[in-house]
Chain A
Amino acid sequence: LAKTTQPISMDSYEGQEVNITCSHNNIATNDYITWYQQFPSQGPRFIIQGYKTKVTNEVASLFIPADRKSSTLSLPRVSLSDTAVYYCLVGDVDTPLVFGKGTRLSVIA
């Protein structure tokens, strides 16, 4: 049983900001929140990871409220190449990650 819940799909136009929210009500104290991107026939690619508050890197931002029961991945100015499945996962670094269905993002020109 997946530990996280995300929207099944989202559509966006090129150049817009996309926010994908994930619920993880039963997150444990030691759990990190990690987002991955997966293209067809490829392994998941690490996007960003956080524990609390806000994390930003060169490709995305991750917003985590104080209760840590949810998180939001923010992708600024998406392009067609951002069309992929995005997975939100919670867990410690050396515990198995339980994948949910992910969010299928479609970017439209």
Chain B
Amino acid sequence: GAVVSQHPSRVICKSGTSVKIECRSLDFQATTMFWYRQFPKQSLMLMATSNEGSKATYEQGVEKDKFLINHASLTLSTLTVTSAHPEDSSFYICSAADRGTTDTQYFGPGTRLTVL
């Protein structure tokens, strides 16, 4: 099946620093990728839709200047958490849409961010 990877799998950073998370579709091209956040014992919450070659679309309540998304190629989207604070600590998960082959969204393994 289609594979989506994320890097890093976990990261610990100090408050005020920025962290970049990569999402790659390994064996298919994805014009659309999605970023989710998941807090303990809760479901996934959509943060933004990332479209290759255009600006991301953010969900209500998600600060676009804090969560910078870049979808520079058909296989890579990045999420940068700027000026991270402890409340940004969460599990970040991306998904990529495999349109034309399986017509299915596949999820990455997630990135655990801990802000001290």
Contact = CB atoms under 8 A, between A and B. Distances in A.
Contact of B104 (A43, A49, A98): A49
Contacts of A46: 1, 104-107
Nearest to B48: A96
Contact of B97 (A87, A94, A98, A102): A94
Nearest to B92: A43
Q: Interface of chain A, helix or strand or loop or mixed?
A: loop
Contact of A44 (B44, B45, B103): B44
Nearest to A51: B103
Interface of B: 1, 4, 6, 31-32, 34, 36, 43-46, 49, 91, 93, 95, 97-99, 102-110, 112
A67 B107 CA distance: 29
Give the interface residue-count category, chain A.
20 to 34
Contacts of B103: 32, 49, 93
Interface stretch (A15-23, A34-42, A71-79): A34-42
A49 B49 CA distance: 22
A30 to B, nearest CB: 11
Contacts of B34: 96-97
The 7 lowest CB-CB distance pairs between A and B, nearest first, are A43-B107, A94-B97, A94-B32, A99-B44, A93-B103, A99-B43, A43-B110
A8 to B, nearest CB: 11
A101 interface: yes
Contact of A102 (B43, B45, B98): B43
B43 A43 contact: no
A49 B110 CA distance: 22
Contacts of A34: 104-105
A94 B71 CA distance: 15
B97 A42 contact: no
B110 A93 contact: no
B107 A101 contact: no
